[in-house]
Amino acid sequence: MPGQAPGRAAARALGDARFADHDVEGALDAWNAVGEPRVRAVRIREARKTPEEVVLRLAGLHVADVLTRARFDEARHRLAELPAASATIALTPDAGGNVDVVITLDENSLAPSGLFGLGAVGVEALFLDNIQVPISNLARHGEVWTTSFRWPSDWREFRSDLSTPSPRWLPGLLDVDGFWERQTYGLGATVPFSREDQTHVGLMLDDWVHGLFHWQGGVTADQWNDRRHLGVRGISDVRLAGDRVSIGTDDAAWFANGADPGFARGDVWIAWRSTPARARPVWTLLVEGTSTGVSSPLDLWTGAGEGLARPPLLRAHSLLDDNVIEGPVFGRALVHATGEYQHPIAEIHSTTLAWAAFVDTARAWHRVDGSTSPLPIDAGIGVRWTAPGLGNSVRLDLARGLRDAGWQFTLGWIAAWPRQ
């Protein structure tokens, strides 16, 4: 433009070229070098039930502010966690160093409906002995209230969870959950089975800082059989390399109560993915280690298997036997690794199908008998199915144990990256 300083013109030209090449973060880096762009307007589209004020507060973007890469990433991450809708954020720059921000929502239905929504609920009930029903935007605040019930006598659970954008005086998201759960453990020939009942109430806050640091923190009240403990929990997750690397910890501690000593649990992970773009083929790798204290209840011990009773995956080896936890890779300490490749196949009526190939391995220490588990390696192929309003993706996998030649089908959910 006539009259522009050479440095400003060059920065704008570089930013425009990067933006045209769909490199939004790179474009912002170039524009930010000359104090641009300034937010001219923030517009919300397709917000039929979710108040625009809630979306704007969660995004944290304000008119006349300079839109930096950190602010953009922070807004994108926060909007991705909006419970009752999926959200996309797009920019429209002009030649004067300004930008319009457009946030488009794809809101969940009030409850699962249609072939895909009701089908997912039915499949989970039929094959996993669990029914889970999310109710979205009942209070029209962008919230999701999820109730689930598992009925087998050896693993029975009733759970209720409310995830909502926090009130104005609190940051980020607020999660309030409560459950009662009974799990049964196979402890060997001397004491064949042990049952542990847990009652839990918890409150957690969740937010992002500069788009690079994700934190969660809260308090819990728990009872295991006749042991009552108050506890605290904190989760930290640092994102690097353009949101392709995650390094995080998940730590919790329960305080001593009368004759019962306190105990703690620690978890650390590192995860990598080839791209954060959802519609593209992606390679992922997760390495995670977990350890619990000597006096901790069995509910806090960890194991690897089909991903139902405990999240770590070892898909050719079952952690459950007729709803009893007695798999070979179960103990107070565990290290596991999972590598996976996902390739989208098709998008049908807002649902996405993908095929996958994977490798899992895990080892447990301090098992029930004090020993260390073998180190199995499992590999296989599977299908991934993502539908709006269902939360996590559904997975169906066929795995083979490369060292012990076992085959197994598994059906379950895939949590959001990095802790799949």
* Terminal Cα distance for the chain, rounded: 49
Core vs surface per residue 162-201: b (16+ CB within 10 A) or e: bbbbbeeeebbbbbebeeebbbbbbeeeeeeeeebebebe
Give the strand pairing for 98-107 and 38-45: parallel
Q: What is the pLDDT of residues 63-104, one digit of tens each?
A: 999 999 999 999 999 999 999 998 999 999 998 899 999 999
Long-range contacts of range 44-47, CB-CB < 8 Å, 24 or more positions apart?
44/103, 44/105, 45/102, 45/103, 45/104, 45/105, 46/104, 46/105, 46/106, 46/107, 47/105, 47/107
Contact (CB, 8 A) for 35 and 5: no
Burial of 2 (0-12, 13-18, 19+ CB in 10 A): exposed
Q: What is the pLDDT of residues 302-343, one digit of tens each?
A: 999 999 999 999 999 999 999 999 889 999 999 999 999 999
The pLDDT value given to residue 259? 82
- Token pair 């994977």 in the structure block, residue: 358
Q: What is the pLDDT of residues 226-236, one digit of tens each?
A: 999 999 999 99
CA 239 vs CA 70, 77, 245, 270, 288: distances in Å: 12, 11, 6, 10, 16
Dihedral in degrees, nearest 10, Cα atoms 338, 344, 350, 351: -50
Phi/psi zone of residue 117: left (φ > 0), alpha (ψ -120 to 50 degrees), beta? alpha
Contact (CB, 8 A) for 388 and 106: yes
Token pair in block for residue 222: 């728990």
Q: Which of 179, 150, 174, 180 is nearest to 162 (CA)?
A: 174
Task: Give the other-Cβ count within 10 Å of 46's Cβ.
Answer: 12
Query: Inter-axis angle of helices 52-59 and 69-80, to 10 degrees?
Result: 130
Does residue 387 surpass a pLDDT of 70? no
With a pLDDT cut of 90, the percent of the chain lying above it is 76
How far apart are alpha carbons 290 and 364 in whole angstroms? 10
pTM for the whole structure: 0.91
Q: Give the mean model confidence (pLDDT) for residues 151-171.
A: 95
DSSP state letters, 257-316: BTTBPPEEEEEEEEEEES---TTS-EEEEEEEEEEE-TT--GGG-EE-BSSSSSS-B-TT
How far apart are alpha carbons 313 and 194 in whole angstroms? 24
Q: Give the mean model confidence (pLDDT) for residues 41-49.
A: 94
- Share the mean pLDDT of the chain: 91
Q: Which of 319, 314, 222 is nearest to 265 (CA)?
A: 222
Q: Which of 352, 385, 382 is nearest to 120 (CA)?
A: 385
Query: Which amino acid, residue 143?
Result: E
How far apart are alpha carbons 332 and 91 in whole angstroms? 48
Contact (CB, 8 A) for 107 and 137: yes
Domains of the chain: 6-106 (3.10.20.310), 114-414 (2.40.160.50)
Does residue 388 surpass a pLDDT of 70? no
**How far from chain centre, in Å, is Cα 321?**
27
